[in-house]
């Protein structure tokens, strides 16, 4: 019984090591299969417009000292910086810029969105600086993560391993070879199954996460057994259970006598 429990309850090291390869290949270069992201509703864009006109510049910045203080308080209390300062794509698929009005950007790439904003800004300014980028990458983690919930990476792009690191890594009981990636597309939502143990993931379309991705990690069967993750933990649990059972047995025997 001890041998069976020891073998079945422990999590093998091979189930926990990322980026494994069947071949002993060093310094291999992987080619990326990046999908160019197309903007969706509720995405947040960071739009910066600067011109020689100071009055016009104020229209595209936080208004006044009270507005700046409100933003700082929101961020310090755990709020989202770009939610406070960026432009959210509304139900119409547009962002609403001060004075310029709505610009339809849903379904566009960042490059295409910038071109659309640029065309509108050019109607008002001859010389100006324009920046259009994502206001962070928002994703969620569920299941066997150390820290589950909604996360934000303030970068233009991030890998799935960066997302996992931000979530405190997976627990030892996570099924790393069957991670569910729930991703939104213009035509609906798709669920992909990815293997974090295989280094070929670097060359897959799922190596880079996208806004609104959801990562779900299922537990290994060992979690249902109730034993420890390592052999030492399993033995400790079994010895404790056997000791308790023996003590109960001896108590019953003594009472019977």
Cα within 13 Å of Cα(214), Cβ side? 12
Question: 20 pairs with which residues across the strands?
Answer: 198
Angle between helices 231-256 and 2-9 (to 10 degrees): 140
Task: Examine the fold and report which residue of 114, 134, 154 is the final residue of a domain before the chain moves on.
Answer: 134
Mean pLDDT within 23-52: 85
CA 250 to chain centre: 53
Three-class SS state of 43: coil
Residues 198 and 217 reside in one and the same domain: yes
pLDDT number for residue 75: 45
Overall average pLDDT of the 216-242 stretch:
68
Residue 205 lies in a domain: yes
Domain boundary among 108, 134, 160: 134
Domain enclosing residue 176, as ranges = 12-21+28-36+137-223
121 and 85 housed in the same domain? yes
CATH code for the domain in which residue 146 is found = 3.10.560.10
Does the pLDDT of residue 32 top 70, yes or no?
A: yes
| Residue 252: predicted pLDDT | 78
Mean pLDDT of 147-174: 93
One domain for residues 128 and 92: yes
Give tens-digit pLDDT for 89-111: 999 999 999 888 999 999 999 99
Indicate whether 115 pLDDT > 90: yes
The number of domains in the chain is 3
Task: Kindly state whether residue 3 falls inside one of the protein's structural domains.
Answer: no
**Do both 212 and 234 map to the same domain?**
no
The pLDDT confidence band at residue 133, using thresholds 50, 70 and 90, is very high
Assign 126 a pLDDT band (cuts: 50, 70, 90).
Answer: confident
In the chain, % of residues over pLDDT 70 = 77
Q: Would residue 5 count as lying in a domain? A: no
- Residue 190: inside a domain: yes
Q: How many CA atoms lie within 13 A of 104 on its CB side?
A: 2
- Please report the pLDDT score of residue 64 as a whole number: 40
Q: What is the mean pLDDT of the chain?
A: 82
> Per the structure block, which two tokens stand in for 149?
């919930």
Mean pLDDT value across residues 182-200: 92
Q: Which of 134, 156, 182 delimits the end of a domain?
A: 134
Is residue 1 assigned to a domain?
A: no
- Is pTM beyond 0.85? Reply is no
* CATH code, domain carrying 71: 3.30.1950.10
Give the per-residue pLDDT at 131.
92
pLDDT for res 110: 94
Give the pLDDT band (50/70/90) at residue 238.
low
Instruction: Considering only residues 22 and 207, tell me which one the structure prediction assigns the higher pLDDT.
Output: 207
Letter string b/e over residues 220-252, b meaning 16 or more CB atoms within 10 A of that residue's CB: bebbeeebbbeeeebbebbeeeeeeeeeeeeee
**Is there a single domain that holds both residue 32 and residue 152?**
yes
Residue 241 binned pLDDT confidence (cut-offs 50, 70, 90): low
87 inside domain:
yes
For the residues 21-37, what does the mean pLDDT come to? 80
48-94 pLDDT, tens digit each: 888 888 877 777 765 444 344 444 544 444 456 777 788 999 999 99
CA distance 44 to 89: 6
Same-domain check for residues 109 and 146? no
CA distance 70 to 62: 10
């Amino acid at each position: 019984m001890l041998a069976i429990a020891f073998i079945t309850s422990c999590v093998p090291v091979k189930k926990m090591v990322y980026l494994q390869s069947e071949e002993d290949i060093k310094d291999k270069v992987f080619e990326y299969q990046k999908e160019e992201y197309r903007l969706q509703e509720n995405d947040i864009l960071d739009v910066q417009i600067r011109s020689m006109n100071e009055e016009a510049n104020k229209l595209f910045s936080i208004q006044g000292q009270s507005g700046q203080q409100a933003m700082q308080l929101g961020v310090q209390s755990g709020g989202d910086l770009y939610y406070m300062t960026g432009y959210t794509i509304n139900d119409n698929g547009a962002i609403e810029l001060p004075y310029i009005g709505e610009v339809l950007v849903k379904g566009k790439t960042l490059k295409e969105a910038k071109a659309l904003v640029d065309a509108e800004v050019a109607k008002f300014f001859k010389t100006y600086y324009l920046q259009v980028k994502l206001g962070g990458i928002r994703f969620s983690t569920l299941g066997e993560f150390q820290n589950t919930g909604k996360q934000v990476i303030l970068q233009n792009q991030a890998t799935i391993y960066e997302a996992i690191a931000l979530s405190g890594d997976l627990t030892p009981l996570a099924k790393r070879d069957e991670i569910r990636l729930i991703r939104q597309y213009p035509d609906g939502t798709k669920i992909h199954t990815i293997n974090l143990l295989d280094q070929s993931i670097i060359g897959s379309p799922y190596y880079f996460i996208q806004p609104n991705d959801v990562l779900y990690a299922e537990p290994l069967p060992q979690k249902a057994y109730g034993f420890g993750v390592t052999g030492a933990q399993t033995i400790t649990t079994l010895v404790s259970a056997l000791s308790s059972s023996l003590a109960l047995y001896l108590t019953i025997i003594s009472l019977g006598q």
